[in-house]
Amino acid sequence: MNGMDHSEPILDLEVVAELRASTGDDDEFLRDLVATYVDEVTSHLDAMASAIDAGDPEAIVRPSHTLKSSSASVGALRLAAICRGIEAAGREARADRLAEDVELARATWAATLDALRRAELVA
């Protein structure tokens, strides 16, 4: 895992602002988008945990990739960075730290959800 993880903000408000502006300053749409994000995160985290339980690091690539992508879209950059590291480790079949990293991703997700609530993007 690279040292960049903790340098990224949990929620980049600049990204959120750009997102809001580029989608027509429509708060309803933005909240709907974030709700969609919140819905998908848990399933990706669960899929990643299952891959570790199954001892199949390659199976971690797709959920970590998708979560990375979705997280980056809504400004959850730290979670995106952690997922990028997990995806890379999965591709190279480096299983040594994957369990810890997935735990870190889960903890980061809790912090991200808090930040989204504070930004009034999640009810």
Instruction: Give the CA distances from residue 36 to residues 30, 89, 121, in Å, rounded to whole numbers and listed in that order.
Output: 10, 27, 11
Q: How far apart are CA 92 and CA 5, in angstroms?
A: 19
Q: How far apart are CA 37 and CA 95, in angstroms?
A: 27
Judged by beta carbon, residue 47 or residue 111, the one nearer another protein is 47
Per CB under 8 A, does 58 bind another protein? no
Helix (H, G, I), strand (E, B) or coil at 99: helix
Q: Minimum CB separation from another protein for residue 111, in Å?
A: 18
Instruction: Draw the binding track, 79-118, toward another protein (x: CB under 8 A; -: no contact).
Output: -----x----------------------------------
Q: How many helices (H) and strands (E) does the chain have?
A: 5, 0
Length of the chain: 123
Number of residues near another protein (by CB under 8 A): 23
Contact window for another protein (CB under 8 A) among 50-58, 64-72, 98-106, 108-116:
64-72
- Positions touching another protein (CB under 8 A) are 15, 19, 22-24, 29, 32-33, 36-37, 39-40, 61-62, 65-66, 68-70, 72-74, 84
